[in-house]
Structure 1
């Protein structure tokens, strides 16, 4: 299996998760305790081990070899566009959430103002009168 690395490095934990070998980050400790993982031919037990282009991760008992490769120029451009779109959407959602939060505060203040002004306009009533 070949994994294209678009950043400087990826941790062993993230690589195992992206490769579908573990379901969550919490499962990596148990996975590394029970499974032999070789990093460039050496046994590796550190989940935070930084893996870079050219490195090879092997899991002998499952007959899996993951080679870290550098993406070509077209893949890099596509990745950059995807990252820009993710950022644009995240910024849009953040802006909408802030506007929605302000709107809720303003309607809440207006409702409180109406409630207090409505109560102050009426004369005080005592029971039995």
Structure 2
């Protein structure tokens, strides 16, 4: 299997999580304790090991070999567009949440100016 790396490096933990070999970042310690993971032919136990172009990760128990490769120029452009779009959407959602929070605060202050109801009290309690 080939993994196209769009950044300078990826950690072993992030790679295994992105490929759905592990379900969460916390599962890596148990995975490395119970499975042999080979980095360029040598056993690797560090979850933060930086993987770069040309590195080969082998997991014999899964019969899996992952080679880190350089993406093509068109794939890099596509990836940059996707990242930019995610950032644009994130900014819009953040602004909307901020505006909604302001509206809620204004609404709450208007209600607090009105007469407040006292909680119902039951006799003998």
Same fold? TM cut 0.5: yes
Match of 1:54 in 2: 54
For 1:60-79, list aligned pairs within 5 A.
60-79=60-79
Listed one character per residue, the Cα deviations across residues 87-114 of structure 1 (whole Å, up to 9, x for unaligned) are 0010000000000000000111111123
What is the CA–CA distance in structure 2 between the aligned matches of 1:20 and 1:112, rounded to whole Å?
50
1:61, CA displacement in angstroms? 2.4
3-state SS in 1 of match to 2:30: helix
Match of 1:95 in 2: 95
Q: How many residues align?
A: 116
Match of 1:126 in 2: none
What is the CA–CA distance in structure 2 between the aligned matches of 1:76 and 1:92, rounded to whole Å?
25
1:62, CA displacement in angstroms? 2.0
3-state SS in 2 of match to 1:115: coil
Match of 1:21 in 2: 21
1:46, CA displacement in angstroms? 0.5
**RMSD between superposed Cα atoms in Å:** 1.0
What is the CA–CA distance in structure 2 between the aligned matches of 1:61 and 1:111, rounded to whole Å?
62
Instruction: Please list every run of at least 4 consecutive aligned residues from structure 1 whose deviation after the TM superposition is greater than 3 angstroms.
Output: none
Match of 1:35 in 2: 35
Match of 1:83 in 2: 83
The structure where helix makes up a greater share of residues is: 1
Match of 2:120 in 1: none
